[in-house]
């Protein structure tokens, strides 16, 4: 039996409206190179990853220039101009576009383009924890803060028990066929794990890292740069 391979799939068709930047946030410069290139470099340097696919919109006017400045990625990264209006659709379109290269049993690691703090160690941790799992899994962090449910007036309405709560991160790692089936059947899901859950399956939670946070607002950029420059 042919051993399963591991492919990375990066949905990067979003515009990052909350950043208020002049370009989609994945193309913003960060600690010496573009945010997306940080992500691609991490996967490209990981021996466990056979190949990386990045999904951009059909109208994307930035990806060619971004990769022109990262020629070392030429044989490690394939650009798929198949992005959709949502992350869900972009990932599903990407799975369809890479079908000729992936078998049903291969693993796909879906990762946010706006999480440049990912490391090779985290990728290996996820692969090691999930490789023999019948479902798949994802990086996540146990919730440690006290959680409040707010009301319409912006006041604390209740304290939510945090026992058993985890904050989902990426990569999220599932077999190609299972992930494709889940996304084809699911509606209104915000990540791949939630699509898998709609099939009645329970993805494995693998502890991630605070540095692997998602850049969403302008003040996140400075914190990401501290991590990427090796500061505590």
Banded model confidence at residue 226, pLDDT cuts 50, 70, 90: confident
The residue ranges of every structural domain in the chain are 6-227
Q: What is the pLDDT of residue 21?
A: 57
Tell me the average pLDDT of the chain. Answer: 93
State the Cα–Cα distance between residues 156 and 80, nearest whole angstrom: 44
Q: What is the pLDDT of residue 1?
A: 61
Backbone angles phi, psi at 6, to 5 degrees: -120, 120
pLDDT: which is higher, 18 or 141: 141
What average pLDDT does this structure show over 12-18? 68
Q: What is the pLDDT of residue 232?
A: 44
26-68: per-residue pLDDT in tens? 999 998 899 999 999 999 999 999 999 999 999 998 999 999 9
The CA–CA distances, whole Å, from 143 to 31, 114, 171, 210 equal 28, 21, 18, 11
Q: What is the pLDDT of residue 49?
A: 98
Q: What is the pLDDT of residue 97?
A: 98
Banded model confidence at residue 3, pLDDT cuts 50, 70, 90: confident
The DSSP code sequence of the chain is -PPPPEEEEEE-----GGGT-SS-GGGSEETTEEHHHHHHHHHHT-TT--EEEEE--TT-SSHHHHHHT-GGGTTTEEEE----SSHHHHHHHHHHHTTTT--TTSEEEE--TT-TT--HHHHHHHHHHHTT-SS-EEEEEE--SPEEEE-TTS-EEEEEP-TT-EEEEEEEEEEHHHHHHHHHH--S-SSHHHHHHTTT--PEEEE--TTSPPP-STTHHHHHHHHHTT--
Q: What is the pLDDT of residue 209?
A: 97
CB 15 within 8 A of CB 116: no
Does residue 20 carry a pLDDT above 60? no
State the Cα–Cα distance between residues 120 and 49, nearest whole angstrom: 10
Does residue 231 carry a pLDDT above 60? no
CATH homologous superfamily of 6-227: Spore Coat Polysaccharide Biosynthesis Protein SpsA; Chain A (3.90.550.10)
Q: Report the candidate in 219, 216, 228 with the shortest Cα–Cα distance to residue 112.
A: 216
Dihedral over Cα of 61, 64, 66, 68: its sign: negative
97-138: per-residue pLDDT in tens? 999 999 999 999 999 999 999 999 999 999 999 999 999 999
């Amino acid at each position: 039996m042919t051993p399963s391979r591991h492919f990375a799939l990066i949905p990067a068709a979003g515009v990052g409206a909350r950043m208020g930047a002049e370009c989609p946030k994945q193309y913003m410069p960060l600690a010496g190179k573009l945010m997306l290139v940080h992500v691609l470099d991490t996967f490209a340097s990981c021996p466990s990853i056979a190949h990386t696919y990045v999904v951009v919109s059909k109208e994307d006017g930035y990806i060619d220039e971004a990769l022109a400045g990262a020629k070392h990625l030429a044989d490690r990264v394939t650009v798929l101009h198949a992005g959709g209006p949502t992350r869900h659709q972009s990932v599903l379109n990407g799975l369809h576009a890479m079908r000729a290269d992936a078998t049903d049993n291969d693993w796909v690691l879906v990762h946010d383009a706006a999480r440049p703090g990912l490391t090779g160690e985290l990728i290996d941790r996820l692969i090691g924890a999930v490789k023999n799992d019948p479902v798949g899994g994802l990086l996540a962090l146990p919730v440690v803060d006290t959680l409040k449910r707010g009301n319409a007036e912006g006041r604390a309405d209740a304290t939510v028990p945090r026992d058993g709560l985890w904050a989902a991160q990426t990569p999220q790692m599932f077999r190609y066929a299972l992930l494709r089936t889940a996304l084809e059947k699911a509606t209104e899901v915000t990540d791949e794990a939630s699509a898998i859950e709609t099939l009645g399956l329970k993805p494995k939670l693998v502890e991630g890292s605070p540095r692997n946070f998602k850049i969403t607002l302008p003040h996140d950029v400075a914190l990401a740069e501290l991590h990427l420059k090796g500061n505590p």
